[in-house]
């Protein structure tokens, strides 16, 4: 017997969903993989810990690709493509660790409860960009900033109008100036201390609430109309292509903001030594986001590939495409920082004893608004830019939902006949849970949850290395991979996967834990409870499921443990591939047996 059936362990065998479908085009996996770089919450993870250092070092990023990003991408793609199942059922490769799949399910649902804020906020700004005068321009801010003026809030327009200096004093003084596009979001909540988690009071933005409901309504419409993978993959392909085109337009326009565009590009790709030291943290954040929101998305996306798809080549194409996307967004943030630094330095030079500070946060989503307000045809650029951000958020939510829902359908056979109903119910529940992010307490939720999910993702990736390369075994992994790809896979790469990549992930995990603990000191009680429910408690699934599956197996403890670690129903889904796999593995086993007999005869 080449593989063990679940019948031998007293459980029902896995029944593959032969109607789940494949990508309508082979390039759809590449497009959706590149779109995982649209996980833009990474640009808000570290706005307290450090300031962005422009472009991360290209050498550092490419080094990370070789050491663990591409190897991990290949491993997850192998699990999904070989088994043709999502991130829960793929752990048939070692059933004892199937609880990892349930952890992933909880993490993905937790991420989706807050990620809609990255669509609602750009949608809010997109709608207000249709006004004849931008509300966050110096002319438009006069109509809604009177509450802030009474509280003596200084903003960028005071600097631009030379109204920045208080009465002369005999000692050094400093003034903090806000950015109008940042203040505009505060005004929607009517709350000045929006991004201060310990602020008093509970405020709801009805405009953000409506935008959130509209976002989930669009998501529900997409999954209702595109009830097959072929339709959904076509919509995703054109949406991703449109988002990339809009991103390139935004990069070109922002490149013209500095007084010397060529110098800014040079500094971006070849920063000074101090900025290169700061870029180490940026490298870690960017490479984490290469695997998308939540965990297991790559496994589910690869499960829609044909069995013979060359995942190694595709993984490199996807990772380099993601790198270009990260650089584009990073350059927009870099130019935005330059824009405000030039204004600050110019006005600080007017008064030697004064120091003006411009408060920037959530730069990619908020602070860029005031930069575009100073451009010619500012309304047009705001419409295109916020449409791009809104579209990227819709794509990220849709892909994460596709991964999560397909994993549910693969694992629970009874839901396959009611895919549309189950999908709409899940979307509705996620929409209800996400309404908390429409309050001043919940809008900060994504900052803490993003860091928590980074910790969970890294820990799950470490467990995946252990399960595939140590429990399942490097020999069987290499054998299956070579059979699927019909090409050799060097043992040197296997050793990189077994030793080098886990060491890199351990270092990344320690850094992520440090940042996560730092953020939790800032969180409210509700945020701490939510993090406990979605991040900490799911880890009980691993030992809990181990205990459950071993109790269902007969024999001694050692026998039960070995049987639960062996792959069950682990074979290609398509009948032709399955027959070839059984024949190949049987011949391999026979060769080993003959080799052993020859050795015995010689002795």
Contact of 44 with 50, CB cutoff 8 Å: no
Indicate left, alpha or beta for 362 from its phi (over 0: left) and psi (-120 to 50: alpha).
left
Of 188, 136, 172, nearest to 157 by C-alpha is 136
E runs forming strands in 60-166: 154-155
Q: How far is CA 85 from CA 102, 450, 464, in A?
A: 14, 26, 16
Contact of 301 with 403, CB cutoff 8 Å: yes
How many other CB atoms sit within 10 Å of the CB of residue 268? 20
Of 170, 222, 109, nearest to 537 by C-alpha is 109
Q: For residues 603 and 600, what is the distance between their CA atoms, to the nearest angstrom? A: 5
> Which residue, chain included where needed, has tokens 């939720």?
445
Provide the β-strand partners of residue 354: 173
Contact of 277 with 60, CB cutoff 8 Å: no
Q: In 428-443, which positions are buried (b, 16+ CB within 10 angstroms) versus exposed (e)?
A: eebbebbbbbbbbbbb
Contact of 271 with 58, CB cutoff 8 Å: no
CB contact set of 332 (below 8 Å; sequence gap of 6+): 250, 251, 254, 364, 368
How many other CB atoms sit within 10 Å of the CB of residue 58? 12
The answer to whether 37 is annotated as binding is yes
Tokens of 524: 């409210």
Tell me 568's DSSP state: B
> Which residue, chain included where needed, has tokens 């593989």?
3
| H/E segment holding residue 177 | strand 173-178
Contact of 37 with 289, CB cutoff 8 Å: yes
Q: What is the β-pairing status of strands 154-155 and 173-178? A: parallel
Tokens of 484: 């699927």
Of 179, 180, 86, nearest to 404 by C-alpha is 86
- How far is CA 554 from its chain centroid? 41
Provide the β-strand partners of residue 176: 357
CB contact set of 517 (below 8 Å; sequence gap of 6+): none
Q: For residues 282 and 193, what is the distance between their CA atoms, to the nearest angstrom? A: 27
Binding residue ranges for Na(+):
37
Residues making up the annotated binding site are 37
């Amino acid at each position: 017997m080449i593989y063990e059936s679940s019948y031998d362990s007293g459980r029902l065998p896995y029944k593959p969903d032969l109607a789940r479908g494949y990508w309508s085009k082979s390039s759809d996996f590449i497009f959706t993989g590149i779109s995982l770089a649209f996980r833009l919450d990474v640009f808000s993870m570290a706005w307290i810990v450090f300031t962005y250092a422009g472009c991360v070092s290209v050498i550092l990023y490419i080094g990370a690709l070789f050491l663990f990003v591409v190897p991990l991408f290949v491993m997850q793609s192998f699990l999904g493509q070989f088994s043709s199942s999502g991130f829960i059922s793929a752990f048939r490769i070692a059933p004892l660790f199937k609880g990892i799949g349930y952890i992933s399910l909880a993490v993905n649902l937790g991420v989706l409860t807050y990620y809609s804020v990255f669509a609602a906020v750009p949608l809010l700004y997109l709608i207000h960009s249709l006004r004849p005068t931008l509300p966050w321009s110096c002319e438009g801010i006069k109509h809604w900033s009177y509450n802030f003026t009474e509280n003596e809030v200084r903003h960028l327009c005071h600097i631009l109008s030379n109204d920045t200096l208080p009465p002369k004093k005999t000692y050094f003084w400093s003034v903090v100036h806000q950015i109008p596009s940042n203040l505009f979001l505060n005004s929607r909540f009517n709350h000045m201390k929006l991004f201060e988690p310990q602020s008093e009071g509970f405020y709801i933005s009805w405009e953000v609430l409506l935008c959130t409901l509209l976002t989930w309504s669009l998501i529900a419409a997409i999954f209702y109309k595109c009830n097959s993978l072929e339709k959904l993959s076509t919509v995703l392909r054109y949406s991703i292509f449109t988002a990339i085109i809009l991103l390139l337009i935004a990069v070109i326009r922002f490149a013209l903001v500095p007084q010397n565009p060529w110098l800014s590009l040079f500094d971006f790709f070849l920063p000074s030594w101090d900025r290169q030291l700061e870029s180490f943290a940026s490298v870690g954040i960017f490479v984490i986001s290469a695997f998308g929101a939540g965990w297991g998305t790559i496994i589910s996306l690869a499960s829609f590939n044909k069995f013979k798809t060359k995942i190694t080549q595709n993984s490199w194409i996807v990772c380099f495409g993601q790198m270009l996307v990260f650089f584009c967004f990073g350059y927009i943030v870099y130019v935005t920082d330059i824009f405000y630094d030039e204004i600050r330095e110019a006005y600080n030079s007017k008064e030697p004893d004064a120091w003006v500070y411009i408060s920037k946060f959530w730069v990619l989503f908020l602070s860029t608004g005031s930069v575009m307000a100073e451009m010619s045809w500012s309304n047009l650029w705001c419409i295109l830019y916020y449409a791009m951000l809104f579209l990227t958020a819709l794509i990220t939510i849709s892909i994460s939902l596709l991964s999560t829902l397909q994993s549910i359908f693969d694992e629970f056979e009874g839901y396959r006949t009611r895919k549309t109903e189950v999908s709409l119910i899940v979307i509705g529940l996620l929409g209800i849970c996400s309404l908390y992010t429409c309050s001043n307490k919940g809008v900060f939720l994504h900052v803490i949850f993003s860091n928590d999910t980074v910790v969970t993702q890294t820990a799950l990736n470490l467990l995946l290395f252990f399960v595939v390369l140590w429990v399942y075994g490097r020999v069987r992994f290499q054998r299956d991979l070579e059979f699927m790809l019909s090409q050799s896979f060097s043992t040197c790469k296997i050793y990189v996967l077994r030793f080098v990549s886990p060491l890199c992930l351990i270092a990344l995990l320690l850094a992520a834990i440090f940042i996560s603990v730092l953020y939790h000191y800032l969180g409210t009680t509700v945020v701490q409870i939510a993090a406990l429910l979605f991040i900490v408690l799911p880890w009980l699934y691993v030992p809990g499921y181990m205990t459950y599956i071993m109790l269902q197996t007969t024999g001694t403890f050692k026998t039960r443990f070995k049987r639960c670690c062996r792959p069950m129903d682990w074979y290609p889904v398509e009948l032709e591939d399955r027959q070839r796999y059984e024949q190949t593995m049987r011949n391999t086993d026979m060769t080993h047996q003959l080799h052993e007999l020859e050795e015995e005869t010689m002795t």
